Amino acid sequence: MLTHLTIALDMMGGDYGPRSSIPAAVTAVNKHCNLVLLLCGNEAVISDGLSKLDSLNHPRLVIKHCTEVVTNSCEPAHALRNKKASSMRIALDLVKSGEAQACVSSGNTGALFFMAHYVLKMLPGIKRPALISAVPTEKKQPVYLLDLGANVHCDGQTLFEFGIMGSIVAGQALDLAQPKVYLLNIGSEDIKGHDGIKQAAQLMKNCEHINYQGYCEGSDMFSGKADVIVCEGFVGNVALKTCEGIAKLIMHKFTKALKKHAFYRLIAFVLRPIIKKLYKRVNPDQYNGASLVGLRGIVVKSHGNASNKAFLAAIEEAAQEVERCIPEKIQATFAHIASKSEHPSSSFSK
């Protein structure tokens, strides 16, 4: 564990802004004694929120006053050009300057993507950053899914790069030497999919840094057979939000049945310990925090409607990525691939 860890927070982003980010920040510094948080946002609002929690003078909560906010309706290009004094931009600037080791924001995803790409730049050898997050499965350990919406369409080379980055993130998080990597496709047969998928599959097969297992379908996402699933951002975002909708539907139906029938209430009472354990495993709050990997810095995107606990989970995800040195490991792997591609005997050479 690092003796000193500093993370910049965009306190004003998302649906709830300071209502969720302030309690999460206070909980985080009280829980982690080596953590310093730079709170980027309106000083008066943040000070008032900290005062209500008796934390205004906490030595590891430092307010960075910002005069602007990137709203959810703000166009990404407009935010990049005109929101240089926003809480989102200042948080990213603190990472670039080295004052912070990572930043967390629940704000406008498109604006965060544009700003992070512009401010932090890409690591050598990587075309595009990707959003990656853990998703619960039937087994104890989750699966890491990318891209979740940073790139709507991807060519084969980009998907291949996602496979390498996903393998590194999952390997570090799950303590696996060779995480099993799959490409999300419309079928498991080799003939299925568009040319970009097929090109990515061939590149992954020839790369020693990826334990490529083939194609998987949407029905395999939660089976636990994969450690990493790679897909285009459009596909990943739709798949993830569809799953969230199904989970809400099941919970709604279950709650409605409990209210209507005493028999179901009796079953729920008997099965309460099992239900609580199951909910704890699939509770989306604990999986909150999609990382924007491929950049020269750590950026974690919290869900826009994140609760206090969910925003806390995003802060802790950022801290873990700092301790695991994710950007440095990604850069080292791509440097190794680039060096081997210069030699005709390399399995990666084309």
Domains annotated on the chain, with CATH: 1-126+294-350 (3.40.718.10), 128-249 (3.40.718.10)
The pLDDT confidence band at residue 288, using thresholds 50, 70 and 90, is low
Dist. CA 113–CA 301, nearest whole Å:
9
Dist. CA 229–CA 185, nearest whole Å:
10
Task: List, in sequence order, every residue forming a beta bridge with 130; answer none if it has no partner.
Answer: 293
Dist. CA 60–CA 205, nearest whole Å:
47
Beta-carbon neighbour count of residue 345 at 10 Å?
6
Say what the pLDDT of residue 119 is.
97
Range scoring the smallest mean pLDDT among 22-36, 128-142, 243-257: 243-257
- Specify burial of residue 124 (Cβ count, 10 A radius: 0-12, 13-18, 19+): exposed
Mean pLDDT rounded to a whole number for the chain: 88
Range scoring the smallest mean pLDDT among 104-108, 124-128, 302-306: 302-306
Which residues are within 8 A (CB) of 16 and not within 5 positions of it... i.e. 6 or more apart?
Answer: 106, 305, 306, 307
Range scoring the smallest mean pLDDT among 11-25, 42-56, 261-275: 261-275
Which residues are within 8 A (CB) of 305 and not within 5 positions of it... i.e. 6 or more apart?
Answer: 14, 15, 16
Q: Quick check: 257 pLDDT over 90?
A: no
**Across the beta sheet with 298-301, what order do the strands follow?**
61-65, 35-41, 5-10, 102-105, 298-301, 290-293, 130-135, 143-146, 228-230, 180-184, 211-216
What is the value of pTM for the model shown? 0.86
Task: List, in sequence order, every residue forming a beta bridge with 184; answer none if it has no partner.
Answer: 216
Q: Quick check: 271 pLDDT over 80?
A: no
The pLDDT confidence band at residue 4, using thresholds 50, 70 and 90, is confident
More reliable by pLDDT, 110 or 265: 110
Q: Quick check: 33 pLDDT over 60?
A: yes
Say what the pLDDT of residue 193 is.
86
Q: Quick check: 258 pLDDT over 70?
A: no
Residue 139's region, left for phi above 0, alpha for psi from -120 to 50, else beta, is beta
Say what the pLDDT of residue 347 is.
41
The pLDDT confidence band at residue 96, using thresholds 50, 70 and 90, is very high
SS3 at position 38 = strand
